[in-house]
């Protein structure tokens, strides 16, 4: 697959890093080259727009955007590219992430954002891998192996709580 980033991970603030680094961890496990940037829909709107508009031309194939509160980052990115955009609503502020979930998921028709759960950074990465697996057989193989490991691990626990009665 090479070292050229295929996935761009963005977050609105450095305070989102503890959640969003899990995204990067999964992509590393899956051998998917990616880049990580901090850019805000509200505080640095022009920079965010430039990044999104230039992503496809630089070889990025999937974008992941995490933001909290009035989270417009994923939507703002989707406004400037037709690449697949995955939104991660981040739990921050007084509303526990519901604010970010609604802001991220309620996109107008024609500008989609695939929204994962609140703080669902890992699933954002797995979804990005699923999209890439259409084109990259090695990503598909790693995803298959991961699923198999998850299945085998849980099956092994089938009787752990069999306390009888």
Report yes or no: 33 and 3 within 8 Å, Cβ to Cβ. yes
Task: Give the contacts of 159 (CB within 8 A, at least 6 positions apart).
Answer: none
- From 2-10, 63-71, 116-124, 149-157, give the range in contact with ligand RP5 by CB under 6 A: 63-71
Query: Which residue in the set 9, 10, 16, 125 belongs to the binding site for ligand RP5 (CB under 6 A)?
Result: 16
Q: Does 76 bind ligand RP5 (CB under 6 A)?
A: no
The size of the interface with ligand RP5 (CB under 6 A), counted in residues, is 10
Residue count (the chain): 165
Query: Which residue in the set 1, 4, 15, 21 belongs to the binding site for ligand RP5 (CB under 6 A)?
Result: 15
- The site string for ligand RP5 over 116-135 (x = CB under 6 A, - otherwise) reads --------------------
Report how far residue 77's alpha carbon sits from residue 65's, in angstroms, rounded to the nearest whole number.
Answer: 8
Q: Does 67 bind ligand RP5 (CB under 6 A)?
A: yes
Considering beta carbons, is residue 60 or 76 the nearer one to ligand RP5? 76
Pairing between β-strand 62-68 and β-strand 34-38 as defined by DSSP bridges: unpaired
Alpha helices in 56-164 (DSSP H): 73-78, 98-105, 121-133, 137-155
Give the containing element (helix H, strand E) for 88: strand 85-90
Task: Give the contacts of 79 (CB within 8 A, at least 6 positions apart).
Answer: 49, 52, 111
Q: Does 61 bind ligand RP5 (CB under 6 A)?
A: no
Considering beta carbons, is residue 85 or 139 the nearer one to ligand RP5? 85
Residues that bind ligand RP5 (CB under 6 A): 12-13, 15-16, 40, 67-69, 90, 92
């Amino acid at each position: 697959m090479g070292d050229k980033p295929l996935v761009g991970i963005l977050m609105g603030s450095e305070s989102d890093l503890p959640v969003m680094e899990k995204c990067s961890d999964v992509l590393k496990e899956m051998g998917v080259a990616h880049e990580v940037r901090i850019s805000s829909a509200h505080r640095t709107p022009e920079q965010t727009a430039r990044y999104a508009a230039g992503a496809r031309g630089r070889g990025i194939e999937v974008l992941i955007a995490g933001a909290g509160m009035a989270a417009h980052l994923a939507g703002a990115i989707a406004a400037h590219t037709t690449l697949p955009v995955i939104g991660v609503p981040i739990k921050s502020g007084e509303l526990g992430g519901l604010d970010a979930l609604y802001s991220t998921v309620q996109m107008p028709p024609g500008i989609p954002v695939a929204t994962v759960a609140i703080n669902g950074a890992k699933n954002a990465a797995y979804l990005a891998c699923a999209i890439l697996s259409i084109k990259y057989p090695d990503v598909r193989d790693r995803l298959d192996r991961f699923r198999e490991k998850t299945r085998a691990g849980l099956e092994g626990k089938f009787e752990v709580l069999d306390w009888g009665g």
